[in-house]
Structure 1
């Protein structure tokens, strides 16, 4: 134990936060051992992207994980919080390209090898930055096991999974509709698309029948894709078009014959009930085309320009082509009308380019066989979502899942382990680098140019980070992990993929619980973003207020699954709480003798037993809350206990004993104070690790660090119901007296007699034992027990759970002076009421003033009338 008298006078987190974190790392407190005598508790970090600074969402996510890890570590588990970073292939490539272009360097001119050297430089820089930021937050990660989705071990795991799925027929290469970014020139996952509501148009176009007598009207938002139409579809139940099914139409501008097909996909109530079918440019049309064996005509290049199959529009940008198509349709009298239409448009989240659905030859994972056991695992409770409502989001996606496009036209990422033979044309698929074709033995082979979707590697994160495909000791001991902490926005993209990957490759789910949190919004409830300029840098908060204050703010405002608003006032309140703890601890240290174990249990008085019993209950409730992932509720209970019951009550109750001469009584008070402070620090430690450690090291030598201290446990021996109730009566009585004095503006220097009618003998004993507390904390001149016949005429009373309290009026106030003061107050309030009433009676004010101003005046009227009523009542009582 460090010298408890030498703790700094003022709370200043800059003086110890960095020092303490370095000590924790040096002592290896965050590095668990594979210990068969301990139960493991594992969390794998949602790996942050190496694309820049951590934001407030990261701060929330990692604070919640750290709370769980520190708590379980103190409970005696072998806790592993495995950190790492995600290579974020497309996001990183876009950022690095942009940086290089500022230097006049261009990706294609540099070539793959040189470009990747630059990306690795970027990766090293930002991975170190992320690590430093997590350390500043106090994250108790095991940095000896840190992983990166592009490190050698994880690359091995990625290749192994690809090969296994390919050999089972679950990975295939085919032509399907994918999300395509014409600017970045790559396929995208759903996670990389943001939907924005944009003003667009419905173009109603006339498609004449081949016979020339009939026609249908098709409504579309993307008329440029009509150049690739291969059919129109109607609902088979739609009486309007039954006679057209099986007939052919003439595709405007192209003059190609296309059939009318019947398909239940068509909504009879939407638009004209006729849908153009362009299988190469729309995912729904693609499915219709598959069902009806329709051709696929791609009319657009990968850069968003029209190709040779677009005829006269070849070479035009897609939007330029749209304008020309519309002009030509107008000229031919085939454009019936243009209707304004707001609709959601998908854009690439990295470059804001509108995404194009495009038929493309890509690598896909067949999802149905993988999804079924993953759905079953959640339905059977092997994986539980906290809160449970998010399981519906999971089921909705998994039960309607489409095959997963896993190839990306990028250089940064895990390159697809497929080699093409230039001689026999067959594929070599293997985990190791191929040097020859496995079919014909030719050396004339080349590797697939594409990289794998980032989610392909992060889907393996819970087991690849532990050494899979090798059956390592870590893998056998720490897998499956215990809980995943993440936001609700990536349930489908990441959580679902980890579940089916864990089941497929490990034979069991990757985690038992998925603890979902919301997002951090600004004080107005808006999402934090660069465009709004409302983002708050967590590092700036830490620099100004300390990591503990930030962590406290993020957890107190948190409930599972719900968004939270970030207020700077809450950070200030958190800092005030830290100050309160610091000052209470300093007071305790100044008044604790070095040897305070020499006390006897019978010397514990009601106040000691009350606070011990209350601590015992708080330990029980907080542990229960943490078990249910109610972190915000748990912290609120700890806060209330420390601030109110320890600082505001217990310390004040025992001051006379600490300063007194009764050594046994003093030892009992000191022992109790130290006990409740140490255990309270332990409860608070997972939430506010730095301040609790700094105080703990000065307060006790129970363990070298609070990080490895034992979590407090509920004990039947610490239940003191009788003493707790007795002290509650005393506290209720003192609080009632204080309220009376406050309401009557009684100066602190003025003492008053307190008359008590206890409700029973137990209350009488409690009040008798608490005489010293009334004198000190309620400014009592004396305590007198009376019966109902002795109630003085002029007294203020309060009913409390333990009886009734009476304070003689003459002890509280000088009657004549109080009457004089109240008369002046009455006159002032009457004038205020008259002024407001006149204002509200003036039609000119009521009709012309803004409603907000009128409402404010009405509120003032109610307030002044209420104040006047109370003054009149007081005057009446004094007469």
Structure 2
């Protein structure tokens, strides 16, 4: 192409393969195109999109570049770094690229080559900061061949030498490594590590590009003289102005910080490490580069395990973006911030003014009252509790919930410390428990041992939600809801031996419980740890105290936990019944525990925990006027309500005027409600339950009766369906009995 009389900037017209064959065969290719613009055929072009032909610029588009490689086309640069057309563009030379695009239409129109303009959906790359159109250009670059390093990295993961956690990310690792390309390590930026490459100019070959690499200019001069056999004084050097890719520089991190390439004491002591923790989005960009360099330069992997945490998103699962106004500053969560202050932050940012109002609306919707002060501990705990999957949707309401947990923790510890006399100190239980502990004391230590086991397993397997859940349950449900409530009558009326055993157990729970929680909530646990009446004061801080292990707490008893769970179920049923009748704390009820078989431990446990139900356990024969609470097929509770409400219930037979509350096929509660309720309304409620239950039974029966049920449905699912059907049918029978009873009212 003669650029002097060119009317169209340099390029190539690419048309659909089969279509072009048709055009050429019928001699329909325009002569100007034949003469001025090369035409080639390629399957890349979509015949049904636009005209079915597209002009490509081989040096200014990634897809065009690939087409040019397939057809051995020249790579022609048509504009400079300022976006102005070069001399090879004929009459358009020196003009701005956007002006030329408009002028080309006029030129084509004048040549009778222009037909029309149509709008098509296009993705134009824009700079995220300046919003300018990004124009790809061919530039000389430095590359590293990565195929061998990638093969070694794949081998390390497949052999287990390098472990990626969670292992679902291994697929991503293999995808990147097995399809790896040469790595462009040079960047045209004003900052970064300058590439240690020098261009060598010799007297006889000034136009030829000759290069050497070296740490210093003196070393480069010496290497050039030796390599090219020329005296040093005849050589001119020019250091490349490019800098290294950021990921190249950061890939050196695991060993560069210890003085590499010198074999320092720190390098010998601390390299390689054990664990790298980072986000899964840079698994290839950063993690892989560190693995490459570690294996290549030092012959060792930089770490043994890679833990990839999820990406933090907003409560709606959206990526945090300034334009959406949903970016959460951790400091604002820790200290709290008003809605007005959040709006003010937008004005101080580099956000486009057109986006500020939109961002304000987003903030107003998500934080109408601003962000409450949550504290560092609550934020840390929340992030660990929600660390699951690829994304973490940060809900401020949940963080605030853990702030309330901090308050509960503080108040519980403060209350528990009141049970320790002044000027006394304690130590945790030894692995072998002393005699004299009550069954509830042993239960508390069993639940503590369970928490120690699960939290340690959670850390070992990087299952942080499991660890935080068991810490939370230990403090809130086991210690606060049960054990501290149990201790109130013990310290009020118990013997000195009982009090002494309870204090030692309580102290053990507090110290180990705080240590378990310390990695998640370091500040509040440190403060409370310093307040413990510790006998062993050799450890000045909880941060360096030994973490509890299973060998420290071999107190687990699953049978005891199951029995206490049954006793607590009785407590909850009684409390629910009392709540339904709006009984005050002053109206104490009497419970009769009716059991079949050997259930003495259940009776003993309920006797110890009866204060939680605000009821007294009677050993006498259950009188009439009771609400019968069926706990299981072997346990009943007869709750005396006669003195509290107008009711009369015979032990032998359910009388008229009684509402039967079905809990399951084995659990029901008989409540005398005659004169207190409208029977017809109760029947209506039970009819609705029957209808829902009937649908469930029908679906299960249809599924079970299917011909291929036994062959296609897993055995575990068949078992669950069978159990659910039996339970539902039993509940249906009880509902029908309840309706018949209500009809007699």
Contact 2:388 2:465 in 1 (8 A): yes
> Could you say which residue in structure 1 is the equivalent of 2:11?
229
Q: 2:103 aligns to what SS in structure 1?
A: helix
* Offset from partner CA, 1:451-487 (integer Å, 9 cap, x none): 2221110122222223221223332333332222222
Aligned counterpart in structure 2 of residue 548 of structure 1, from 371, 377, 392: 377
Q: 1:756 aligns to what SS in structure 2?
A: strand
Q: What aligned pairs does 1:47-58 form with structure 2 within 5 A after superposition?
A: none
> Could you say which residue in structure 1 is the equivalent of 2:545?
709
Aligned counterpart in structure 1 of residue 408 of structure 2, from 580, 589, 594: 580
Q: State yes or no: 1:385 paired with 2:164.
A: yes
Distance 2:220 2:646 in 1: 106
Q: 1:602 aligns to what SS in structure 2?
A: coil
Deviation at 1:294, TM superposition (A): 2.2
Contact 1:597 1:667 in 2 (8 A): no
Q: What aligned pairs does 1:368-767 form with structure 2 within 5 A after superposition?
A: 368-424=147-203, 426-434=210-218, 437-438=221-222, 439=225, 440-442=231-233, 444-543=236-335, 544-561=373-390, 563-593=391-421, 594-596=424-426, 601-660=434-493, 662-699=495-532, 700=534, 701=537, 703-715=539-551, 717-761=554-598, 763-767=599-603
Contact 1:625 1:631 in 2 (8 A): yes
> Could you say which residue in structure 2 is the equivalent of 1:32?
none
Contact 1:796 1:806 in 2 (8 A): yes
CA RMSD of aligned residues (A): 3.8
Deviates more, 1:598-607 or 1:298-307: 598-607
Deviation at 1:325, TM superposition (A): 2.1
Deviation at 1:580, TM superposition (A): 0.9
Q: 2:586 aligns to what SS in structure 1?
A: coil
Distance 2:428 2:494 in 1: 15
Distance 1:248 1:619 in 2: 82
* Offset from partner CA, 1:259-278 (integer Å, 9 cap, x none): 536x6666778766655453
Distance 1:548 1:598 in 2: 25
Q: State yes or no: 1:799 paired with 2:627.
A: no
- Classify 1:251/1:806 alpha carbon distance in 2 versus 1 (closer, same or farther; 3 Å): farther
Contact 1:622 1:634 in 2 (8 A): yes
Deviates more, 1:377-386 or 1:747-756: 377-386
- Classify 1:254/1:702 alpha carbon distance in 2 versus 1 (closer, same or farther; 3 Å): farther
- Classify 1:428/1:505 alpha carbon distance in 2 versus 1 (closer, same or farther; 3 Å): same
Contact 1:638 1:683 in 2 (8 A): yes
- Classify 1:815/1:791 alpha carbon distance in 2 versus 1 (closer, same or farther; 3 Å): closer
Structure 1 length-normalised TM:
0.63
Distance 1:354 1:391 in 2: 36
Contact 2:427 2:507 in 1 (8 A): no
- Classify 1:345/1:310 alpha carbon distance in 2 versus 1 (closer, same or farther; 3 Å): same
Contact 2:428 2:508 in 1 (8 A): no
Structure 2 residue ranges without an equivalent (≥5): 1-5, 226-230, 336-372, 649-671, 686-734
> Could you say which residue in structure 2 is the equivalent of 1:779?
614
- Classify 1:478/1:802 alpha carbon distance in 2 versus 1 (closer, same or farther; 3 Å): farther
Specify the structure having the higher radius of gyration (Cα): 2
* Offset from partner CA, 1:417-437 (integer Å, 9 cap, x none): 122345555433112344762
Contact 2:525 2:542 in 1 (8 A): yes
- Classify 1:492/1:230 alpha carbon distance in 2 versus 1 (closer, same or farther; 3 Å): same
Q: What aligned pairs does 1:57-136 form with structure 2 within 5 A after superposition?
A: none
Deviation at 1:653, TM superposition (A): 1.1
Q: State yes or no: 1:280 paired with 2:112.
A: no
Contact 1:227 1:254 in 2 (8 A): no
Distance 1:292 1:773 in 2: 85
* Offset from partner CA, 1:595-632 (integer Å, 9 cap, x none): 44699711111111111111112221222222221112
Q: 1:402 aligns to what SS in structure 2?
A: coil
Distance 1:705 1:474 in 2: 27
* Offset from partner CA, 1:100-128 (integer Å, 9 cap, x none): xxxxxxxxxxxxxxxxxxxxxxxxxxxxx
Q: State yes or no: 1:258 paired with 2:50.
A: no
Distance 2:331 2:594 in 1: 57
Q: 2:121 aligns to what SS in structure 1?
A: strand
Deviates more, 1:519-528 or 1:576-585: 519-528
Q: Considering fraction of residues, name the structure with more strand.
A: 1
Deviation at 1:555, TM superposition (A): 1.9
Deviation at 1:444, TM superposition (A): 4.2
Deviation at 1:287, TM superposition (A): 3.7
Q: 1:360 aligns to what SS in structure 2?
A: coil
Distance 2:114 2:217 in 1: 56
Distance 2:597 2:50 in 1: 79
Deviation at 1:298, TM superposition (A): 0.5
- Classify 1:797/1:710 alpha carbon distance in 2 versus 1 (closer, same or farther; 3 Å): same
> Could you say which residue in structure 1 is the equivalent of 2:369?
none
Distance 1:400 1:374 in 2: 13
- Classify 1:257/1:334 alpha carbon distance in 2 versus 1 (closer, same or farther; 3 Å): closer
Contact 1:753 1:784 in 2 (8 A): no
Greater relative contact order structure (CA < 8 Å, 6+ sep) = 1
* Offset from partner CA, 1:377-403 (integer Å, 9 cap, x none): 333333333222322223333333333
- Classify 1:378/1:326 alpha carbon distance in 2 versus 1 (closer, same or farther; 3 Å): farther
- Classify 1:331/1:605 alpha carbon distance in 2 versus 1 (closer, same or farther; 3 Å): farther
Distance 2:635 2:449 in 1: 27
* Offset from partner CA, 1:2-41 (integer Å, 9 cap, x none): xxxxxxxxxxxxxxxxxxxxxxxxxxxxxxxxxxxxxxxx
> Could you say which residue in structure 1 is the equivalent of 2:94?
315
- Classify 1:597/1:409 alpha carbon distance in 2 versus 1 (closer, same or farther; 3 Å): closer
Contact 1:732 1:800 in 2 (8 A): no
Contact 2:247 2:285 in 1 (8 A): yes
Contact 1:300 1:306 in 2 (8 A): yes
Deviation at 1:801, TM superposition (A): 7.8
Contact 2:316 2:393 in 1 (8 A): yes
Contact 2:10 2:37 in 1 (8 A): no
